């Protein structure tokens, strides 16, 4: 199974996860400070800064793009409830 | 919502703030509890404004739905619906948008000016009718042209919702701030130099509405302070036309930290409640371990005998908090929940959190508290410790180690760890 290294820098922890994992599936379990509201990609609460490895995340869906734009997200920010890791190394922290 | 019978008053009359600028809001003197949480001893007002220019009329915010009749009655005295070219929504909370749908039915040509973050809320407000109207997303520096009057927008998010903004009427130097610098105070004399003493209401409103967003309020003031201002027109309470800048200065004062920091160290507060002394022993050991780090100032408090309000002030300035609680009847104790519930009044995002406790049978309290800390947007980097009954010497050493780890995370010296998904 393809895996990825997903690092939550605010809690200094890297988790080896299967490809396809969403950040939301991991971040709460490890105590990272990324927080969630609707958990369905609408509210923008889980805005997350991708410190490195953005290319190792799925492209934002039309819905995620709209929410990112309306929330005036920076170019390196994604919704943790939406994006999935593809492989390689990704480092994130709360926006 | 608690209300008392209002004193009969004359029918609503628009109030002129400046030539072509009218208050067309509503008074709600009978309100006693606003939004479940805020008390008010003399009601509130829902301030809406109409601005007339040579090229059209702008309506800035509306009122709570049940006050729509008063709002429309006043609006009709200063403008025809076909003259309304702009509807400015500085904030989309229901107490300001209760008449929006009906106003748009009467003035469908009005272009709705809203911050980008407000679009999703506007869709929810207008439902299927959303597509029928013209919506303009506005950011800082964007303007709405009313002919000889210009409205300039300032994006001021999180004062106190994500989509909040302010609107500045350039020619008359009036700033419409919605909830910012507002308060729940009802007085038909409307202007700050004419109404009764509203100082308490002003600060109470700040404490309960704006304080959790201190950082964002400061950023909003950064945008506001350079403006020439003849009046501040909020959406609740008095219009601040006399010495308006003093209210900005006062907001700056309210934003300053309640407790000046005496040390350069990181600060860790440990609160505990103990039924038989076990959780208190754990707390002392956690404190010992955390205190080994010279860059962390550790404080230990017995929550059972402390006052909540000063603890909230302390937590607001702290870098981390840890809560020790026994598990009683499958839950953390009420004292702990009371403290946690009080933290909605301050910003806790990004602080370090943790929990520990002794238990008899089940021990759910620690995980419950950790979950709540995460709900408060805190990071909880070290899994909390649960100990059955009184701690043994090795278990007390575990508690010390827990404290050491917390201090390491506070000072950014924690060793990076790597784990597998399967171990979660």
pTM for this model (two decimals):
0.83
Phi, psi of B116 (to 5 degrees): -55, -35
Which residues are CB-contacts of A89 (< 8 A; sequence separation ≥ 6)?
Answer: A4, A5, A7, A52, A53, A56
Q: What is the C-alpha separation between B62 and B103, in angstroms, rounded? A: 9
Q: Which residue among A12, A33, A44 places its CB closest to the CB of B417?
A: A12
Residues of chain B with CATH 3.40.50.360: 266-410
Tell me what pLDDT residue B318 has: 95
Mean pLDDT, chain A, integer = 95
CATH 3.60.15.10 in chain B: give the residue spans.
15-255
Residue owning tokens 């009954």: B389
Tens digit of each residue's pLDDT (9 = 90 or more) over A60-70: 999 999 999 98
* pLDDT given for residue B4 in this prediction: 57
Q: Which residue has the tokens 């006050």?
A: B67
**Chain A, nearest residue to B162 by Cα:** A71
Angle at A86 between CA A83 and CA A90, to 5 degrees: 75
CA B2-B3-B9 angle, to 5 degrees, is 165
Complex confidence, ipTM: 0.92
Q: What are phi and psi of B359, to 5 degrees?
A: -150, 165
Q: Would you tell me which CATH number, out of the four given (3.60.15.10, 1.10.540.10, 3.40.50.1100, 1.10.287.3510), belongs to the domain B15-255? A: 3.60.15.10
Q: From edge to edge, which strands make up the β-sheet containing B266-272?
A: B296-302, B266-272, B320-324, B352-359, B385-388
CATH class of B266-410: alpha beta
* Chain A residues close to B374, C-beta within 8 Å: 28, 31, 33, 35
Q: What distance in Å separates residue A83's CA from the closest CA in chain B? A: 17
**Cβ B165 vs Cβ B156: under 8 Å:** yes
What integer pLDDT is reported at residue B3 of this predicted model?
A: 56
pLDDT score at B1: 47
Q: Identify the structural domains of chain A with CATH numbers, from first to last.
A: 3-94 (3.10.20.30)
Chain B partners within 8 Å of A21 (Cβ): 421
- Following DSSP, what letter does each residue of B32-79 receive, concatenated? -EETTTEE-SS-EEE--EEEEETTEEEEE----GGGHHHHHHHHHHH-
The pLDDT averaged over each successive group of 10 residues in chain B (424 residues) is: 52 89 94 85 94 98 96 96 98 97 98 96 95 96 98 97 97 98 95 95 94 95 98 98 97 84 85 96 98 96 90 94 96 96 93 97 95 96 96 98 98 95 90
| Angstroms from B12 CA to nearest CA on chain A | 37
How far is residue B408's CA from residue B422's CA, in Å, rounded to a whole number?
A: 26
Closest CB to A35: pick one of B155, B377, B381: B377
Q: Nearest CA of chain A to the CA of B306: how many Å?
A: 28
B122 and chain A: CB distance < 8 Å anywhere? Answer: no
- The shortest C-alpha distance from A81 to chain B (Å) reads 15
Mean pLDDT calculated for residue range A25-34: 95
d(CA B257, CA B313): 9
């Amino acid at each position: 199974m393809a895996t990825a290294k997903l690092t939550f820098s605010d809690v200094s922890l890297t988790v080896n996860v299967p490809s396809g994992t969403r950040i939301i599936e991991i971040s709460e379990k490890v105590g990272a400070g990324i927080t969630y509201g609707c958990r369905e990609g609408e509210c923008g609460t889980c805005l997350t800064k991708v410190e490195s490895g953005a290319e190792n995340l799925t492209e934002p869906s039309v819905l995620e793009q709209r929410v990112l734009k309306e929330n005036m997200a920076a170019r390196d920010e994604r919704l943790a409830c939406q994006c999935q890791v593809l492989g390689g190394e990704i480092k994130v922290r709360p926006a | 919502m608690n209300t008392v019978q209002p004193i009969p008053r004359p029918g609503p009359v628009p109030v002129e703030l400046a030539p072509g600028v009218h208050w067309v809001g509503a008074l709600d003197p009978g309100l006693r509890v606003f939004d479940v949480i805020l008390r008010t001893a003399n009601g509130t007002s829902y301030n809406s404004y109409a601005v007339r220019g040579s090229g059209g009329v702008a309506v800035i915010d509306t009122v709570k739905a049940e006050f729509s009749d008063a709002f429309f009655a006043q609006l009709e005295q200063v403008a025809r619906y076909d003259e309304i070219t702009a509807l400015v929504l500085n904030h989309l909370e229901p107490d300001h948008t209760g008449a929006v749908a009906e106003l748009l039915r009467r003035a469908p040509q009005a272009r709705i000016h809203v911050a980008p973050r407000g679009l999703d809320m506007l869709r929810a407000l207008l439902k299927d009718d959303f597509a029928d109207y013209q919506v303009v997303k506005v950011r800082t520096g964007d303007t709405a042209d009313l002919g000889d009057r210009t409205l300039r927008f300032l994006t001021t998010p999180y004062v106190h919702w994500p989509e909040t903004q302010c609107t500045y009427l350039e020619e008359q130097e009036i700033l419409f701030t919605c909830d910012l610098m507002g308060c729940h105070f009802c007085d038909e004399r409307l202007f700050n130099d004419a109404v009764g003493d509203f100082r308490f209401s002003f600060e109470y409103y700040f404490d309960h509405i704006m304080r959790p967003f201190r950082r964002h309020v400061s950023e909003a003031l950064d945008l506001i302070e350079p403006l020439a201002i003849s009046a501040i027109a909020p959406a609740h309470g008095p219009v601040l036309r006399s010495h308006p800048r003093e209210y900005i200065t006062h907001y700056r004062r309210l934003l300053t930290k309640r407790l000046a920091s005496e040390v350069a160290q990181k600060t860790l507060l440990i609160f505990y409640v103990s039924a038989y002394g076990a959780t208190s022993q754990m707390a002392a050991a956690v404190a010992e371990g955390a205190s080994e780090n010279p860059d962390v100032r550790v404080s230990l408090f017995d929550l059972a005998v402390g006052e909540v309000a000063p603890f909230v002030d302390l937590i607001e300035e702290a870098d981390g908090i840890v809560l020790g609680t026994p598990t009683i009847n499958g839950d953390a104790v009420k004292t702990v929940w009371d403290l946690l519930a009080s933290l909605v009044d301050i910003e806790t995002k990004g602080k370090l959190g943790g929990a520990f406790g002794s238990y008899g049978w089940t021990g759910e309290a620690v995980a419950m508290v950790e979950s709540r800390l995460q709900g408060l947007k805190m990071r909880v980097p070290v899994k909390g410790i649960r100990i059955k009954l009184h701690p043994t010497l090795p278990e007390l050493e575990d508690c010390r180690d827990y404290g050491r780890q917390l201090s390491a995370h506070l000072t950014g010296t924690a060793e990076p760890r790597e784990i597998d998904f399967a171990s979660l």
